[in-house]
Amino acid sequence: MKTLTLLRHAKAGWGERGSPDFDRPLNEKGRRAARAMGRAMRDAALGFDLVVASPAARVTETLEGAGEGYGTAFDPVWDRRAYLAAPEVLLEIVQATDDAVDTLLIVGHNPGLELLTLHLTSEEDGGELRAAVLEKYPTGTLAEIHLPVDRWRDAAEGKGTLRRFLRPRDLDAALGPDGD
């Protein structure tokens, strides 16, 4: 059994006019959400053998904030391929993971994370959680997928079961949508 957790970066600001998308920082709400998600991961006793992350500023800041909430810093492998990655690229990252890793966390961007979640899980096993993903995969949200495989390369369409879909607003209504 392998466990894949996908964390979307928290809410970002737009940065300075003309600055590249890659350099967009978190806004204050995003920083609060990242810390809250870290606390939730700690409280749920989620642990990760490997963390792979996009090197974009909003992802690095999300991991810093989540680490503060978790109580220990995450030590990710920065992978440029994860920046704004299509679900096919994210699946390649998953399938190339060393089989000694049982719990993998990928931190990145939408729509890739949402589409990968939907690709790996089936409608029959998803229930309300999968319906929530179909509705929206907001910033700062975490999806946990259990894969009944021994080798990451066997992760494939519909094989996984969505076990957790946690949005910042589930932890604190003030972290929900407000039109910003």
- pLDDT in the model for residue 124: 77
Quick check: 56 and 83 in contact, CB under 8 A? yes
- pLDDT in the model for residue 151: 98
Binding-site sequence positions for substrate: 58
Task: Report whether pLDDT(126) > 70.
Answer: no
Mean per-residue pLDDT for 9-14? 94
The model's pLDDT over 56-67, given as tens digits with 9 standing for 90+, comes to 999 999 999 999
Single-letter residue type at 4: L
Binding-site sequence positions: 58
Domain limits of the chain?
2-175
d(CA 63, CA 75): 9
Share of the chain above pLDDT 70, in %: 97
- Residue whose tokens read 């700690």: 42
> For the chain, how many residues are written?
180
Which CATH number does 2-175 carry?
3.40.50.1240
What's the pTM value of the predicted model, to 2 decimals?
A: 0.96
- pLDDT in the model for residue 16: 72
3-class DSSP state for residue 139?
A: coil
